[in-house]
Amino acid sequence: MKNWIFNEESPLPPDPKTARTRAILLALPFALLGIAALVMLVHDLIGGIPRQRAIATLSFVVTCFGFVALIIGINAKKMALRAPALKSSPPAEKPWLNRQDWAAGRLTSGTRRSVILLWLFVALWCAVSAGITLVVVSPAWHRGNHAVLVAMIFPLIGVFVFAYVVKATVAWRKFGQTIFDLAAIPAPLGGTLEGEIRVKTKLQPEHGLHLRLSCVRQTTTGAGKNRRTVEKILWQDEKWLKPDLPQTDLNATGIPVYFKLPGDRPESTAAAGDGIHWRLEASATLRGPNFHASFDVPVFKLPEPPAISEDSTAPYQMTLDEVRRQIHSQIRTSHLPTGAEFIFPAARNRGFAAGATIVCLIWTGIVALLVWNHAPPILPLIFGVIDLVMLAFSLDLWLRRSHVFIAAGEIEVETAWLAFKKAESLPISDAANFAAEVGATVGHSVYYDLLLRARDGREITLAKNLAYRPEADWLVREMSAAAKKSAATASSA
């Protein structure tokens, strides 16, 4: 047992797998004790408990989880202190050499470790949920305490988490470890990101393959229970490739990657956690588990101007009509002799609207429980205001429809929610340009707003929540062309 936690200096490199196993085995007894104490505490709080006993039990829970955090922290600190001594420090002007995968130009996705960690999490969650249900909910319900049903949210979440982990495991067993080989290290800002994603199986997408590159700023605020991590998408581009992807052999698939990078975005952060992360994602709908791979790619500004090569994905890219069929676009366009007409029907993004509605209904249930249990008035009031905001957002997703008419030297915009309508118009001579800007973000998905900018600085929203960048850019081009055509016709007339 000597040096099992505090190892003496060793010439051998630290083994991450052994270190994780050691930390888990040491922390497991304390975690189990803490879970048991937490279940008893919830049980006693619902059934009534003296204050001194509650404080003592809670202190025991905190102590157990504190030992867990201490053991894991010691293990992580030891690995961090030993790692720099095993390799020479990279030059300060080449920060991408701080990461071994970036320096080698070989990035991986779909590791077995992530699947194992997911199973550990779901096992812990299900154990806690089962304990709360058996020890707390059942006795309290028989005593007539119906408010205890609030605790059933934990096993319900556990069911969804379990289903997600099973799906992730099946996908990992089918696709294994996916590799992205970079053509150049790093990818230069103002240049291109190029390479090939290699999948150890033959992909046969039903409709095609979706590539997406995002620049994300991750920020963590607060501490403890108030700790919160927020991701803001600063830039994003995407491509759709045809199903007939190049096959490296009978049992493997190569996916070509090519993205032009902007020159005015921040560089990558080498360390995990807070900072700037350039994320490359590849996904496809298949029979059985769907394919998805994600890579954190190195993007940095280089002193010399980057060279722009030809697009290697051009032979495999879908046409715009194919993309619109793939995404089941409901936006209708029609060309007129002097302009064009664009119709954006309501409920175009049913998945987005349904998700927002479910969250709103859950929040409404919380407000109802607070009122039913005679909570202090300030709590239902605060939660109710938030619920009204969420309700307005959900109704906007379901009911908003827009109609843009460009003709006779005018741009007319009509936005309607059921019988309520709002109309705006702008002479084409007063219009500066059309633009697609990032609107709502849900996870790693971005929804774009279509805007008309006037020369006096005003902005008119033409449509909201366009789900795909290629279609949004196409609409900008079509509206710009229709405006030029209408202006030319009006001028000649």
> Residue 314 is part of a domain; what is its CATH number?
2.60.40.640
- Assign 401 a pLDDT band (cuts: 50, 70, 90): very high
The residue ranking higher by pLDDT, 20 or 142, is: 142
CB-based burial label for 127 (10 Å; 0-12, 13-18, 19+): middle
Q: How far is CA 407 from the centre of its chain?
A: 40
- Assign 110 a pLDDT band (cuts: 50, 70, 90): low
Question: Is 98 part of a structural domain of the chain?
Answer: no
Q: Are residues 269 and 382 in the same domain?
A: no
Query: Percent of the chain scored above 70 by pLDDT?
Result: 74
Q: Are residues 210 and 271 in the same domain?
A: yes
Q: Which of 80-84, 196-200, 327-331, 402-406 has the lowest mean pLDDT?
A: 80-84
- Assign 280 a pLDDT band (cuts: 50, 70, 90): very high
Q: Are residues 351 and 260 in the same domain?
A: no
Query: Percent of the chain scored above 90 by pLDDT?
Result: 15
Mean per-residue pLDDT for 117-142? Answer: 74
pLDDT at 277: 92
Provide the token pair at 260.
């032009």
Give the mean pLDDT of the chain. 78
Looking at the 3D structure of the chain, how many domains does it have? Answer: 3
Mean per-residue pLDDT for 50-76? Answer: 55
Q: Are residues 254 and 373 in the same domain?
A: no
Q: Are residues 342 and 480 in the same domain?
A: yes
- Assign 334 a pLDDT band (cuts: 50, 70, 90): confident
The residue ranking higher by pLDDT, 478 or 80, is: 478
Mean per-residue pLDDT for 320-337? Answer: 83
Q: pTM (2 decimals)?
A: 0.63
The residue ranking higher by pLDDT, 358 or 288, is: 358
pLDDT at 208 over 90: no
Mean per-residue pLDDT for 158-167? Answer: 81
Mean per-residue pLDDT for 292-312? Answer: 87
pLDDT at 4: 38
Final residue belonging to a domain, choices 318, 347, 365:
318
Q: Are residues 288 and 344 in the same domain?
A: no
Q: Are residues 268 and 360 in the same domain?
A: no
CB-based burial label for 91 (10 Å; 0-12, 13-18, 19+): exposed
pLDDT at 66 over 70: no
Q: Are residues 349 and 458 in the same domain?
A: yes
pLDDT at 83: 45
pLDDT at 245 over 70: yes
Residues 6 or more apart whose CB falls under 8 angstroms from that of 394 comprise 353, 356, 357, 360
Question: Is 9 part of a structural domain of the chain?
Answer: yes
Q: Which of 51-65, 194-208, 264-278 has the lowest mean pLDDT?
A: 51-65
pLDDT at 225 over 70: no
Q: Are residues 372 and 255 in the same domain?
A: no
**CA 386 – CA 68 distance, rounded (Å):** 36
pLDDT at 363 over 50: yes
pLDDT at 444: 64
CATH number, domain at 370?
2.30.29
pLDDT at 159: 80
pLDDT at 228: 74
Mean per-residue pLDDT for 13-33? Answer: 52
**CA 399 – CA 420 distance, rounded (Å):** 10
Mean per-residue pLDDT for 237-248? Answer: 80
- Assign 414 a pLDDT band (cuts: 50, 70, 90): very high
Question: Is 169 part of a structural domain of the chain?
Answer: no
Mean per-residue pLDDT for 344-359? Answer: 88
Question: Is 224 part of a structural domain of the chain?
Answer: yes
Q: Which of 20-24, 85-89, 162-166, 419-423 has the lowest mean pLDDT?
A: 85-89
Question: Is 189 part of a structural domain of the chain?
Answer: yes
Residues 6 or more apart whose CB falls under 8 angstroms from that of 475 comprise 331, 342, 434, 436, 450, 463, 466
Question: Is 411 part of a structural domain of the chain?
Answer: yes
pLDDT at 350: 86
Residue 39, Cβ neighbours under 10 Å: how many?
20
Q: Which of 216-230, 255-269, 345-359 has the lowest mean pLDDT?
A: 216-230
Mean per-residue pLDDT for 309-338? Answer: 84
Q: Which of 54-63, 89-98, 292-301 has the lowest mean pLDDT?
A: 54-63
Q: Are residues 255 and 301 in the same domain?
A: yes
Final residue belonging to a domain, choices 87, 116, 140:
87
Question: Is 456 part of a structural domain of the chain?
Answer: yes
Final residue belonging to a domain, choices 24, 57, 87:
87
Which residue range forms the structural domain that includes residue 381?
A: 333-492
Q: Reply yes or no: is the peptide bond before residue 256 cis, omega within 30 of 0.
A: no
Closest CA to 25 of 14, 17, 13: 17
Q: What is the side-by-side order of every strand in the sheet holding 192-199?
A: 106-109, 178-182, 192-199, 253-260
- Assign 76 a pLDDT band (cuts: 50, 70, 90): low
Q: Which of 71-85, 110-124, 244-258, 369-383 has the lowest mean pLDDT?
A: 71-85
Question: Is 431 part of a structural domain of the chain?
Answer: yes
Q: Are residues 262 and 189 in the same domain?
A: yes
pLDDT at 9: 37
Q: Are residues 422 and 477 in the same domain?
A: yes
Mean per-residue pLDDT for 449-455? Answer: 91
pLDDT at 455 over 70: yes
Mean per-residue pLDDT for 405-421? Answer: 89
pLDDT at 93 over 80: no
